[in-house]
């Protein structure tokens, strides 16, 4: 199973791709889709993110994907813009017919680090432990890989539960 993790952001949208075979996780690729105010209007920036992420999906052909929930901060305008970037992160895999899981930031941190309020440096460290030899494109890519790892763990748990339920009904 190939998993695409996406860390939404209007300026830096992180992405990471891993392969999952049983309990084995393998790094495939990671990167950051960039957009900044010099690119023009908000619509043009969102179009740019859409095109970049669409290319990632085309290149790596994930089987499933996951996106982090947007956290609400005190700046309503910034939160709204982040939400629009998150919409792109949900739309691109959906357009490709790929299922999209959604996770709260604390759930991702708890799955990957073991605590729900982990710092960026802890996430980076644990992603490197889960994916030995990985070269990270930056903190946003590390977060995206953490989201992919979280989704892989949750998918495996769901599959084990489904198998157990089927055995119990037989």
Q: Which residue has the tokens 């073991």?
A: 114
Q: Is 19 annotated as a binding residue?
A: no
Q: What is the DSSP string of 112-132?
A: HTSSTT--HHHHHHHHHHHST
Q: How many CA atoms lie within 13 A of 2 on its CB side?
A: 15
Single out the catalytic residue among 19, 39, 55, 68.
Answer: 68
Q: Is 7 annotated as a binding residue?
A: yes
Strand 12-21 and strand 24-34: the pairing is antiparallel
Catalytic: 68?
yes
Q: Is 68 annotated as a binding residue?
A: yes
DSSP-assigned letter for residue 74: S
Please provide the distance, in angstroms rounded to a whole number, between the alpha carbons at the two ends of the chain.
Answer: 27
Catalytic: 36?
no
Q: Provide the β-strand partners of residue 3.
A: 18, 64
Catalytic: 63?
no
- Which tokens is 31 given? 């990167």
Active-site residue numbers? 7, 68, 140
Binding residue numbers: 7, 68, 140
Instruction: List binding-site positions for Mg(2+).
Output: 7, 68, 140
């Amino acid at each position: 199973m190939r998993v695409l993790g996406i860390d939404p952001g209007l300026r830096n949208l992180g992405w990471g791709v891993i392969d999952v075979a049983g309990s084995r996780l393998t790094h495939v690729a990671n990167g950051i889709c960039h957009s900044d105010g010099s690119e023009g209007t908000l619509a043009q920036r969102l179009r740019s993110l859409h095109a970049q992420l669409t290319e990632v999906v085309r290149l790596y052909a994930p089987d499933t994907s996951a996106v982090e929930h947007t956290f609400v901060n005190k700046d309503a305008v910034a939160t709204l813009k982040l939400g629009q970037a998150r919409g792109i992160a949900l739309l691109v895999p959906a357009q490709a017919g790929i299922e999209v899981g959604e996770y709260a930031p604390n759930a991702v941190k708890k799955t990957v680090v073991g605590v729900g309020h982990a710092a960026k440096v802890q996430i980076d460290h644990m992603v490197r432990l889960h994916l030995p030899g990985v070269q990270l494109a930056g903190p946003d890519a590390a977060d995206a890989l953490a989201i992919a790892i979280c989704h892989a763990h949750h998918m495996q748990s769901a599959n084990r539960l489904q198998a157990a339920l089927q055995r119990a009904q037989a």
